[in-house]
Amino acid sequence: MNLTGNLLLMAMFVSQAWGQSDPLPPGDHLRGLIIGGQKRSYLMHIPARHDPNQPAPVVLALHGAAMNGPMMAVFCGLNVNSDEAGFIAVYPSGTGAGPFLVWNAGGFGGKQAEGRVDDVAFISRVIDEVAKSVKVDTNRVYACGMSNGAMMCYRLAAELSDRIAAIAPVAGTIAISESKPKRPVPVLHFHGTEDALVPFARSAGKRQSFMRLKGAEESVLAWVALNGCLAEPRLEVLSKAGDELKVTRKTYSGGRNGSEAVLVTIEGGGHTWPGMKPMVSFIGKSATNVSANALIWDFFSRHPMK
Protein backbone atom coordinates (compact mmCIF):
# COMPACT_ATOMS: atom_id res chain seq x y z
CA MET A 1 0.00 0.00 0.00
CA ASN A 2 1.27 3.49 -0.79
CA LEU A 3 1.85 6.26 1.76
CA THR A 4 -1.51 7.93 1.02
CA GLY A 5 -3.34 4.67 1.62
CA ASN A 6 -1.53 4.11 4.89
CA LEU A 7 -2.39 7.63 6.06
CA LEU A 8 -6.07 7.08 5.26
CA LEU A 9 -6.11 3.87 7.30
CA MET A 10 -4.46 5.68 10.20
CA ALA A 11 -7.03 8.47 9.98
CA MET A 12 -9.82 5.86 10.23
CA PHE A 13 -8.16 4.33 13.28
CA VAL A 14 -7.67 7.59 15.14
CA SER A 15 -11.43 8.16 15.47
CA GLN A 16 -11.57 4.90 17.41
CA ALA A 17 -8.48 5.70 19.50
CA TRP A 18 -9.61 9.14 20.73
CA GLY A 19 -9.43 9.41 24.51
CA GLN A 20 -8.25 5.83 25.08
CA SER A 21 -5.43 5.29 27.55
CA ASP A 22 -5.17 1.49 27.85
CA PRO A 23 -1.71 -0.18 27.82
CA LEU A 24 -0.61 -0.65 24.23
CA PRO A 25 1.24 -3.60 22.63
CA PRO A 26 4.26 -3.20 20.33
CA GLY A 27 3.48 -1.69 16.94
CA ASP A 28 2.21 1.58 15.48
CA HIS A 29 -0.68 3.38 17.13
CA LEU A 30 -2.28 6.62 15.97
CA ARG A 31 -3.74 8.30 19.05
CA GLY A 32 -5.95 11.31 19.55
CA LEU A 33 -6.67 13.87 22.22
CA ILE A 34 -8.62 17.08 22.65
CA ILE A 35 -6.86 20.18 23.94
CA GLY A 36 -8.15 23.74 23.87
CA GLY A 37 -11.32 22.42 22.25
CA GLN A 38 -9.34 21.11 19.27
CA LYS A 39 -8.77 17.54 18.12
CA ARG A 40 -5.07 16.67 17.87
CA SER A 41 -3.20 13.45 17.13
CA TYR A 42 0.13 11.70 17.41
CA LEU A 43 1.56 8.45 16.04
CA MET A 44 3.35 6.23 18.56
CA HIS A 45 5.77 3.42 17.64
CA ILE A 46 6.40 0.84 20.36
CA PRO A 47 9.31 -1.47 19.49
CA ALA A 48 8.92 -5.24 19.60
CA ARG A 49 11.60 -5.51 22.29
CA HIS A 50 9.69 -3.15 24.62
CA ASP A 51 9.38 -4.47 28.19
CA PRO A 52 6.09 -3.11 29.58
CA ASN A 53 7.43 -3.45 33.12
CA GLN A 54 10.45 -1.20 32.52
CA PRO A 55 10.33 2.60 32.05
CA ALA A 56 11.34 3.41 28.46
CA PRO A 57 12.92 6.51 26.94
CA VAL A 58 10.78 8.53 24.53
CA VAL A 59 11.89 10.41 21.42
CA LEU A 60 9.46 12.98 20.04
CA ALA A 61 10.04 13.54 16.30
CA LEU A 62 8.45 16.75 15.02
CA HIS A 63 7.61 17.09 11.32
CA GLY A 64 8.41 20.01 9.06
CA ALA A 65 5.87 22.41 7.57
CA ALA A 66 3.35 20.89 5.13
CA MET A 67 3.75 17.46 6.75
CA ASN A 68 2.21 15.53 9.65
CA GLY A 69 3.24 12.91 12.18
CA PRO A 70 2.82 9.77 10.02
CA MET A 71 4.68 11.49 7.16
CA MET A 72 7.54 12.30 9.55
CA ALA A 73 7.85 8.64 10.50
CA VAL A 74 8.47 7.79 6.84
CA PHE A 75 10.63 10.86 6.20
CA CYS A 76 13.18 10.29 9.00
CA GLY A 77 13.08 6.50 9.35
CA LEU A 78 13.48 6.69 13.12
CA ASN A 79 11.43 3.54 13.76
CA VAL A 80 14.43 1.42 12.75
CA ASN A 81 16.48 2.98 15.54
CA SER A 82 13.54 2.66 17.93
CA ASP A 83 13.45 -1.08 17.29
CA GLU A 84 17.20 -1.40 17.72
CA ALA A 85 17.61 0.76 20.84
CA GLY A 86 14.25 0.17 22.51
CA PHE A 87 12.99 3.74 22.83
CA ILE A 88 9.40 4.80 22.10
CA ALA A 89 9.19 6.97 18.96
CA VAL A 90 6.37 9.51 18.98
CA TYR A 91 5.33 11.60 15.98
CA PRO A 92 2.91 14.39 16.98
CA SER A 93 1.01 16.35 14.32
CA GLY A 94 0.77 20.13 14.19
CA THR A 95 -2.26 22.11 13.06
CA GLY A 96 -3.48 23.42 9.72
CA ALA A 97 -5.39 22.27 6.65
CA GLY A 98 -5.63 18.57 5.77
CA PRO A 99 -2.31 16.72 6.08
CA PHE A 100 -0.30 19.92 5.57
CA LEU A 101 0.35 21.00 9.13
CA VAL A 102 2.71 23.38 10.95
CA TRP A 103 4.01 24.14 14.44
CA ASN A 104 3.71 27.38 16.35
CA ALA A 105 7.48 27.55 16.83
CA GLY A 106 7.60 31.35 17.19
CA GLY A 107 8.99 33.94 14.84
CA PHE A 108 5.71 35.81 14.47
CA GLY A 109 4.96 39.29 15.78
CA GLY A 110 1.97 41.58 16.14
CA LYS A 111 -1.30 40.33 14.64
CA GLN A 112 0.48 37.36 13.05
CA ALA A 113 1.10 35.98 16.54
CA GLU A 114 -2.51 36.37 17.68
CA GLY A 115 -4.69 33.29 18.01
CA ARG A 116 -1.95 30.77 17.31
CA VAL A 117 -2.21 27.43 19.11
CA ASP A 118 -0.14 26.64 22.20
CA ASP A 119 1.96 23.78 20.85
CA VAL A 120 4.16 23.74 23.97
CA ALA A 121 1.07 22.82 26.00
CA PHE A 122 0.12 20.24 23.36
CA ILE A 123 3.53 18.50 23.48
CA SER A 124 3.39 18.47 27.28
CA ARG A 125 -0.03 16.82 27.06
CA VAL A 126 1.27 14.27 24.52
CA ILE A 127 3.97 13.25 27.01
CA ASP A 128 1.26 12.77 29.65
CA GLU A 129 -0.88 10.70 27.29
CA VAL A 130 2.02 8.49 26.20
CA ALA A 131 2.75 7.79 29.88
CA LYS A 132 -0.80 6.43 30.24
CA SER A 133 -0.13 3.77 27.60
CA VAL A 134 3.48 2.77 28.39
CA LYS A 135 5.87 3.22 31.29
CA VAL A 136 7.97 6.30 30.50
CA ASP A 137 11.37 7.19 31.90
CA THR A 138 10.62 10.85 32.62
CA ASN A 139 14.35 11.67 32.79
CA ARG A 140 14.78 10.47 29.20
CA VAL A 141 12.19 12.30 27.11
CA TYR A 142 13.83 13.90 24.07
CA ALA A 143 12.80 15.91 21.01
CA CYS A 144 14.17 16.01 17.47
CA GLY A 145 12.62 17.69 14.48
CA MET A 146 12.91 18.77 10.86
CA SER A 147 12.75 22.40 9.68
CA ASN A 148 9.68 23.96 11.33
CA GLY A 149 9.77 20.97 13.71
CA ALA A 150 13.40 21.79 14.52
CA MET A 151 12.33 25.35 15.37
CA MET A 152 9.70 23.84 17.66
CA CYS A 153 12.43 21.78 19.35
CA TYR A 154 14.23 24.99 20.25
CA ARG A 155 11.00 26.40 21.67
CA LEU A 156 10.47 23.26 23.76
CA ALA A 157 14.02 23.51 25.11
CA ALA A 158 13.34 27.10 26.15
CA GLU A 159 9.83 26.65 27.54
CA LEU A 160 9.54 22.96 28.51
CA SER A 161 13.05 22.26 29.82
CA ASP A 162 11.62 20.63 32.93
CA ARG A 163 10.29 17.79 30.74
CA ILE A 164 12.58 17.67 27.67
CA ALA A 165 16.01 16.25 28.50
CA ALA A 166 17.79 17.18 25.21
CA ILE A 167 16.97 18.24 21.66
CA ALA A 168 18.27 17.55 18.15
CA PRO A 169 17.08 20.12 15.58
CA VAL A 170 17.66 19.31 11.89
CA ALA A 171 17.60 22.10 9.26
CA GLY A 172 15.72 24.51 11.51
CA THR A 173 16.90 27.34 13.75
CA ILE A 174 15.70 29.43 16.69
CA ALA A 175 12.54 31.38 15.87
CA ILE A 176 11.54 32.70 19.30
CA SER A 177 12.91 36.06 20.39
CA GLU A 178 14.09 34.98 23.85
CA SER A 179 15.00 31.69 25.54
CA LYS A 180 14.77 31.28 29.31
CA PRO A 181 15.11 27.57 30.14
CA LYS A 182 14.72 26.35 33.72
CA ARG A 183 17.75 24.08 33.31
CA PRO A 184 20.60 23.46 30.84
CA VAL A 185 19.38 21.53 27.78
CA PRO A 186 21.92 19.69 25.60
CA VAL A 187 21.54 20.59 21.91
CA LEU A 188 22.66 18.68 18.79
CA HIS A 189 22.01 20.73 15.64
CA PHE A 190 22.34 19.49 12.01
CA HIS A 191 22.45 21.91 9.08
CA GLY A 192 23.50 21.94 5.43
CA THR A 193 25.49 24.90 4.13
CA GLU A 194 23.42 24.95 0.90
CA ASP A 195 20.02 24.85 2.60
CA ALA A 196 17.86 27.19 0.50
CA LEU A 197 14.75 26.99 2.71
CA VAL A 198 16.33 27.72 6.11
CA PRO A 199 19.74 29.15 5.21
CA PHE A 200 22.74 28.14 7.27
CA ALA A 201 23.88 31.73 7.88
CA ARG A 202 22.02 34.97 8.42
CA SER A 203 22.29 38.12 10.49
CA ALA A 204 20.67 38.27 13.91
CA GLY A 205 17.04 39.34 13.70
CA LYS A 206 16.92 39.25 9.89
CA ARG A 207 13.61 38.04 8.49
CA GLN A 208 13.28 35.01 6.23
CA SER A 209 10.00 35.79 4.39
CA PHE A 210 7.50 36.55 7.18
CA MET A 211 9.47 34.94 10.06
CA ARG A 212 12.37 36.06 12.20
CA LEU A 213 14.99 33.31 12.41
CA LYS A 214 18.55 32.96 13.64
CA GLY A 215 21.34 31.26 11.69
CA ALA A 216 22.59 27.77 12.50
CA GLU A 217 25.79 28.88 14.26
CA GLU A 218 23.96 31.70 16.00
CA SER A 219 21.37 29.24 17.32
CA VAL A 220 24.00 26.87 18.68
CA LEU A 221 26.04 29.69 20.21
CA ALA A 222 22.91 30.93 21.98
CA TRP A 223 22.74 27.57 23.76
CA VAL A 224 26.48 27.56 24.38
CA ALA A 225 25.80 30.65 26.49
CA LEU A 226 22.56 29.35 28.03
CA ASN A 227 24.19 26.05 29.05
CA GLY A 228 27.42 27.69 30.23
CA CYS A 229 29.60 25.67 27.84
CA LEU A 230 33.27 26.33 27.10
CA ALA A 231 33.85 28.96 24.41
CA GLU A 232 36.36 26.84 22.46
CA PRO A 233 34.82 23.87 20.64
CA ARG A 234 36.27 20.49 19.70
CA LEU A 235 36.21 19.98 15.94
CA GLU A 236 35.88 16.53 14.33
CA VAL A 237 35.51 15.35 10.75
CA LEU A 238 32.76 12.73 10.57
CA SER A 239 32.95 12.25 6.80
CA LYS A 240 35.52 13.52 4.32
CA ALA A 241 34.49 15.23 1.10
CA GLY A 242 35.87 12.35 -0.96
CA ASP A 243 33.34 10.00 0.65
CA GLU A 244 30.35 12.09 -0.51
CA LEU A 245 29.63 15.32 1.40
CA LYS A 246 32.04 16.54 4.04
CA VAL A 247 30.45 16.46 7.47
CA THR A 248 32.04 18.07 10.52
CA ARG A 249 31.02 18.19 14.17
CA LYS A 250 31.78 21.14 16.44
CA THR A 251 31.23 20.31 20.12
CA TYR A 252 31.03 22.91 22.87
CA SER A 253 31.33 20.91 26.09
CA GLY A 254 31.73 21.71 29.78
CA GLY A 255 28.22 23.07 30.31
CA ARG A 256 26.31 22.95 33.56
CA ASN A 257 25.12 19.47 34.55
CA GLY A 258 27.33 18.03 31.80
CA SER A 259 25.41 19.74 29.01
CA GLU A 260 26.79 20.36 25.52
CA ALA A 261 25.89 22.34 22.43
CA VAL A 262 26.89 20.67 19.16
CA LEU A 263 26.76 21.77 15.52
CA VAL A 264 26.99 19.16 12.76
CA THR A 265 27.67 20.92 9.46
CA ILE A 266 27.00 19.23 6.11
CA GLU A 267 29.06 21.07 3.53
CA GLY A 268 27.00 21.32 0.35
CA GLY A 269 24.00 19.77 2.10
CA GLY A 270 20.46 20.97 1.47
CA HIS A 271 17.21 20.99 3.44
CA THR A 272 17.52 17.29 4.23
CA TRP A 273 17.74 14.67 6.99
CA PRO A 274 21.29 13.20 7.01
CA GLY A 275 21.25 9.48 6.37
CA MET A 276 17.98 9.58 4.40
CA LYS A 277 17.69 10.10 0.66
CA PRO A 278 15.66 13.20 -0.31
CA MET A 279 12.11 12.46 -1.45
CA VAL A 280 12.28 15.37 -3.91
CA SER A 281 15.33 16.84 -5.63
CA PHE A 282 14.65 20.55 -5.12
CA ILE A 283 15.44 20.41 -1.38
CA GLY A 284 19.10 19.70 -2.15
CA LYS A 285 21.67 17.02 -1.38
CA SER A 286 21.69 14.78 1.68
CA ALA A 287 24.70 13.27 3.45
CA THR A 288 23.68 9.64 3.14
CA ASN A 289 27.09 8.54 4.44
CA VAL A 290 26.28 9.93 7.92
CA SER A 291 23.21 8.87 9.91
CA ALA A 292 21.50 11.65 11.82
CA ASN A 293 19.40 9.02 13.59
CA ALA A 294 22.43 7.16 14.92
CA LEU A 295 24.13 10.38 16.03
CA ILE A 296 20.92 11.65 17.62
CA TRP A 297 20.33 8.52 19.68
CA ASP A 298 23.98 8.38 20.76
CA PHE A 299 23.69 12.01 21.90
CA PHE A 300 20.35 11.49 23.66
CA SER A 301 21.51 8.34 25.44
CA ARG A 302 24.42 10.30 26.93
CA HIS A 303 22.22 13.16 28.13
CA PRO A 304 19.40 12.07 30.43
CA MET A 305 17.91 14.79 32.59
CA LYS A 306 19.94 15.21 35.78
For the chain, 306 residues long, the average pLDDT of each consecutive 10-residue run is 42 45 88 95 96 96 96 97 98 91 81 74 98 97 98 98 98 96 98 96 54 89 98 94 86 98 97 89 88 98 96
Round to the nearest angstrom and report the end-to-end CA distance of the chain.
44
| pLDDT of amino acid 108 | 62
pTM above 0.95, yes or no: no
| pLDDT of amino acid 214 | 92
Q: Are the C-beta atoms of residues 230 and 253 closer than 8 Å to each other? A: yes
Q: Are the C-beta atoms of residues 31 and 14 closer than 8 Å to each other? A: yes
| pLDDT of amino acid 100 | 87
DSSP H or E stretch at residue 263: strand 261-266
Burial of 38 (0-12, 13-18, 19+ CB in 10 A): exposed
Residue 194 carries which DSSP code? T
Looking at domain 19-301, its CATH architecture is: 3-Layer(aba) Sandwich (3.40)
DSSP H or E stretch at residue 58: strand 56-62
| pLDDT of amino acid 9 | 41
Helix (H, G, I), strand (E, B) or coil at 97: strand
| pLDDT of amino acid 281 | 77
